[in-house]
Amino acid sequence: MAVLSIVDVVVGVFFWVFFPTGYFSGKLIPRIVSDLTFVEGAAIFFVGGLLAFFHSNLSPRARALLVVGASMVGLSVLFGVLS
């Protein structure tokens, strides 16, 4: 989670270089980081949910993905509040 959060901050800082126009143009860096973190957290949570759904018991891997995904969504809300 720490690695993904650091990558989100780096991408958020340099996002205007990669995509000068479009959805993220004119947004503040914390807002971009919030959006990126939410998408990654939702995707990780979804994968963990699928693993939990297709296995009869909740495996440690699925549990870890659910916790990391929910934490990243919470971190996204924190970045959104700060922006």
Span 46-75, pLDDT tens digits: 999 898 888 878 888 888 989 999 999 998
**What's the CA angle centered on 15, arms 66 and 6, to 5 degrees?**
40
- What does pTM read for this prediction? 0.77
Report the percentage of the chain scoring pLDDT > 90: 14
Task: Confirm if 31 and 83 have CB atoms less than 8 A apart.
Answer: yes
Q: How many domains does the chain have?
A: 1
Between these two residues, 43 and 7, which has the higher pLDDT value?
A: 43
Burial 13-43 (b: 16+ CB within 10 A, else e): eebeeeeeeeebeebebbbbbbbbbbebbee
